[in-house]
Amino acid sequence: MRTAEDEQDGAQSMNDYKNGQNIAAANESSIRTDFKESMTYGEYLHLDQLLNAQGGVSGHHDETLFIIIHQVSELWMKLILHELTSAIDHIGNDDLQPAFKQLARVSKIQSQIIQGWDVLATMTPAEYMEFRGDLGNASGFQSYQYRMIEFALGYKTQHVLKIYEKDDALHQTLLEAFGKPGLYDAAIQKLARSGFHINPDVLNRDVTKVYESDESVREAWKTVYRDVETHWELYQLAEKLVDIEDWLQQWRFRHMKTVERIIGFKQGTGGSSGVNYLKKVLDQYFFPELWEIRTEI
């Protein structure tokens, strides 16, 4: 049985609801609807170009899925490169706090890219084979942004540059990235500036070569981890690097398992060994000492 107090509460609730509706209506009356002389959301984001870039080559229903997953990944990779480049500069200038924010953002972006594989895995082998032949030799192996991320993290192999010789401007961009110090180079230089003894051969190394583990760097990081309070910023930097490598390895693993799920052990469209190649790169390390010291500290 409803009491008078219940009736009053109900009436108050209805009045609150109506007042809220009136306030919302008043606020929405100011919404802009005339854009004849102003920039729209779609124009700002160039949506006409973005949403018309999924034409494909086969007309198969699932090719749209395939294209969008890879395009979204490339957009995320563009942001990763944007953040990594800035973080390297900040570390070089001993300005670590902004670098920490940027490296943390990279890790969050990586988690988004990983989830993309789960969406792509909804495509079955039979569906993919309906249009795989139409792709020719186009392959994710040729992603130049992925190569630039590898370069920024210090993994550099000369032979991959040949893939991009078709486009002179792109090839030059990759050559420039290939010749620049990477994120780990910046971190090691920071260790040296912080008073740690670092092998001069490491500090002056040829940055176009793949980085190899060094005893002096390992000892420096061990000291950091054994006295976190004294070396708090370097400790934070180390853990940000570990986060990035950890997420990248998870991305590589999900990539490998998605490829195995869809095409098994077929050769990749770009000529790689496919799953076998993807399994091999799981053994690559970007920041080896940061993993090695975990057994020793």
* Separation between Cα atoms, residue 216 and residue 202, nearest integer Å: 9
Sign of CA dihedral 211, 255, 158, 167: negative
- Asked whether residue 132 is marked as a ligand-binding residue, the answer is yes
- Asked whether residue 69 is marked as a ligand-binding residue, the answer is yes
Length of the chain: 297
**Amino acid occupying residue 212:** E
The answer to whether residues 297 and 222 touch, using CB atoms and an 8 Å cutoff, is: yes
* Separation between Cα atoms, residue 12 and residue 7, nearest integer Å: 9
CA distances from 8 to 13, 15, 16, 22, 66 (A): 9, 10, 12, 21, 58
**Amino acid occupying residue 130:** E
* Cβ neighbourhood burial of 291 (10 Å; 0-12, 13-18, 19+): middle
Helix axes 144-153, 63-92, angle to 10 degrees: 30
- Asked whether residue 70 is marked as a ligand-binding residue, the answer is yes
8-state DSSP, 141: G
- Asked whether residue 255 is marked as a ligand-binding residue, the answer is yes
CA distances from 36 to 44, 50, 251, 297 (A): 14, 22, 44, 65
Place of tokens 């970007």: 286
* Separation between Cα atoms, residue 207 and residue 188, nearest integer Å: 12
Determine phi and psi for 270, rounding to 5 degrees: -85, 0
Core vs surface per residue 210-230: b (16+ CB within 10 A) or e: ebeebebbbbbbebbbeeeee
- Asked whether residue 67 is marked as a ligand-binding residue, the answer is yes
Which residues participate in the annotated binding site for substrate? 66-70, 128, 132, 269
Which residues participate in the annotated binding site? 66-70, 128, 132, 255, 269
Which residues participate in the annotated binding site for heme? 255
